[in-house]
Amino acid sequence: MKKLSVLFAILFTAITYGQKTVNDYKYVIIPEKYEFSKEKNQYQLNALTKFLLEKYGFTTVMKSAEKPAELQSNNCLALEADVQNNSGLFVTKMVLQLKDCYGNVVYASDEGRSREKDYKTAYHEALRDAFTSLEDLNYSYNEDPIVAETPKKEPKVIASTTTQVSNAEEEEVEAVEENEMDVEDATIATTEGKFYTNDNAVYFLKENEAGYGFYQKGMAEPFAMLIASDGSDNFIYNSLTKQGMAYFADNGDLIIEIFDRQTSKTVKTTYKLQH
């Protein structure tokens, strides 16, 4: 009888797990770096992943960002995004995977491909191609989710007034927070009050809660928004007619990249910083 009960329990678990879909998860966590990358957000791939997931209706959280309270108490409410690089000598191949809190693959996209030679262009084109699979998902979060696992391990929470931490841990957290503030201040200092030119027109950025409004000089309303995506200088570019990515070059220029579906090319526009 005991063996029969165990068998039923195993079958029930298998059936329950087999019924899970992406709709049972409220969040998707985006890592700062993929295994095949040499540095954080290399080629803006992680920011692009965040942008594309949000485009298809997912609520995303960067792995290093502060998590919502419910996610802190139960990390199994989220899937974690991963990108597999299956590239060969002449073809760039990428697959998006969404994994649960135990590392199980809940969803894997079709393989996206690109024959472009430039690494960044090829990675972006292949990743966007892989994301076309999500169109058939019609993602919509299930308010009464099946997901109810106990978190595998306690989530890391930045020190608060109710969290007991050692002096060394507290100092480490304070150092991280100060560093984040420095990065944010530096970003604002290099953008707010600066002017950019393109095709003899002058533009400027104005800070807001979402990131920045992008204005043409002489106009009272912004023609586009730069939405902060991961706490760095990478932004989601959003206008009435176009969506893409924006970031700052080392020399301070503002770069806007828009993917043209008709040509399957990324169109890059540079707004020169006036010195």
Q: What percent of the chain has pLDDT over 70?
A: 72
Average pLDDT over residues 136-163: 55
Each residue of 41-99: pLDDT tens digit? 888 899 999 999 998 899 999 888 888 888 888 888 999 999 999 998 899 999 999 99
Domain spanning 21-136, CATH class: alpha beta
Return the pLDDT at 256. Answer: 92
Return the pLDDT at 23. Answer: 92
Return the pLDDT at 272. Answer: 93
Residue corresponding to tokens 């002096």: 167
Return the pLDDT at 231. Answer: 58
pLDDT higher than 60, residue 15: no
Characterize the bridge pairing of strands 265-273 and 105-108: unpaired
- Cα separation of 164 and 86, whole Å? 44
pLDDT higher than 70, residue 115: yes
Output the pTM of the full model: 0.56
Confidence of residue 106 (pLDDT cuts 50, 70, 90): very high
Neighbours of 158 (CB within 10 A): 12
Each residue of 210-255: pLDDT tens digit? 788 899 888 888 888 888 866 566 888 888 778 888 988 889 899 9
DSSP assigned state of 22 = G
Q: What percent of the chain has pLDDT over 90?
A: 35
Confidence of residue 192 (pLDDT cuts 50, 70, 90): low
Return the pLDDT at 27. Answer: 94
The domain segmentation of the chain, as residue ranges, is 21-136, 191-273
Task: Check: CB of residue 214 under 8 Å from CB of residue 192.
Answer: no
- SS3 string, 104-122, reads CEEEECCCEEECCCCHHHH
Average pLDDT over residues 192-200: 83
Q: Which of 11-25, 88-102, 164-178, 210-224 has the lowest mean pLDDT?
A: 164-178
pLDDT higher than 60, residue 120: yes
Q: Per the structure block, which two tokens stand in for 8?
A: 């039923």
- Cα separation of 121 and 123, whole Å? 6
Q: Which of 14-23, 42-51, 78-87, 117-126 has the lowest mean pLDDT?
A: 14-23
Confidence of residue 35 (pLDDT cuts 50, 70, 90): very high
